[in-house]
Amino acid sequence: MQELLARLRAAAEPTRLRLLRLCSAGELTVSEFTEILGQSQPRVSRHLKLLCEAGLLDRFREGSWVFYRLAEGAGGALARRLVELVPPADPVIALDRERLAAVKHQRAEAANAYFRANAAQWDRIRSLHVDDREVEAALLSLLPRSGLRDLLDIGTGTGRILEVLAPSVERALGVDLSREMLAVARVNLERARLAHCAIRQADMYQLPLSSGSFDAAVIHQVLHYAERPARAIAEAARVLRPGGCLVTVDFAPHELEYLRAEHAHRRLGFADAEVMQWYRDAGLVPEAPVRLRGDPLTVVLWPARRPAPAEREAITAASAAVSVAP
């Protein structure tokens, strides 16, 4: 009861109610709030602090920027209910909505400029392998058809994989180290109205996520940039729940040396045995890879799953028995 009353008191102020309504439309920074509300940054920051302390908003850092969005769980559910009660025709709310649209337009223009500047290299690489739609269809076929609640996309880039898999999950999170790519992804997700998908700036070698918190994880066309691919797989395995699945998508071994020189590829593809050994080292059970042949690049999807504790013990016992056999 006291927690509910505290949350209601935190929301019962005009500016804070406006902040909740703005956050219901997506993630925003303090500077964007000040632009929309026409208030000083210290004042807006104080209101945001109170809403976060009440559990109505979540705060997360992305480089030097700080974003806010409606909280998960009971606090977020209450915030959404309160937002639904705000009259949309209220003149203050209508003006906030207009200014929010302008902010999102500015965001989209910046993201489009970055994409235009970098799209040529992506298009050139795409022309070397099978159609992206074929890869995406194969990826969908490897994920569970039911019971998939929480999905993690590691190295989300433009957020494309989140868009593809969003209809199959209850909640999805994409992480990437590049702020520029996250800006593109944020615009794409907002444009697709995927409110249950979120993105965060994070290092794939040290994910700021609890162990055993996701049902599935995807590493799509990321490992060939990685200095420590085995470490990235181990970290992805750590956040999987028992029974959860990991699908890594990348290239089979090839000899296109210019991809290393011109596009920063650290590895020229991966052999099945190498990826499967990384899976085993991370405590995962590898499954049969799927190969999609292109010219000259072949795309491979390597699925694996985290065994339940009883199965893991059986696997360990079997491995020990093999190691001591004469």
Domains of the chain, first to last = 2-102 (1.10.10.10), 128-324 (3.40.50.150)
- The residue among 76, 60, 56 whose CA lies nearest residue 12 is 56
Distances in Å between the Cα of 287 and the Cα atoms of 149, 246, 247, 269 are 21, 10, 10, 19
- pLDDT reported for residue 318: 54
What pLDDT does 227 receive?
A: 82
Q: How many CB atoms are closer than 10 A to CB 179?
A: 12
What is the mean pLDDT for each group of 10 consecutive residues in the chain (326 residues)?
89 94 89 94 95 92 78 89 91 93 83 64 74 94 89 94 94 91 89 92 94 97 89 97 97 88 83 95 97 93 91 57 51
pLDDT for residue 153:
98
Question: Which has the closest alpha carbon to 7: 81, 61, 85?
Answer: 81
Tokens for 45, please give them: 């920051």
Counted residue by residue, the chain has a size of: 326
The confidence score (pLDDT) of residue 134 equals 95
Query: How distant, in Å, are the alpha carbons of 85, 121, 204 from that of 181?
Result: 35, 14, 15
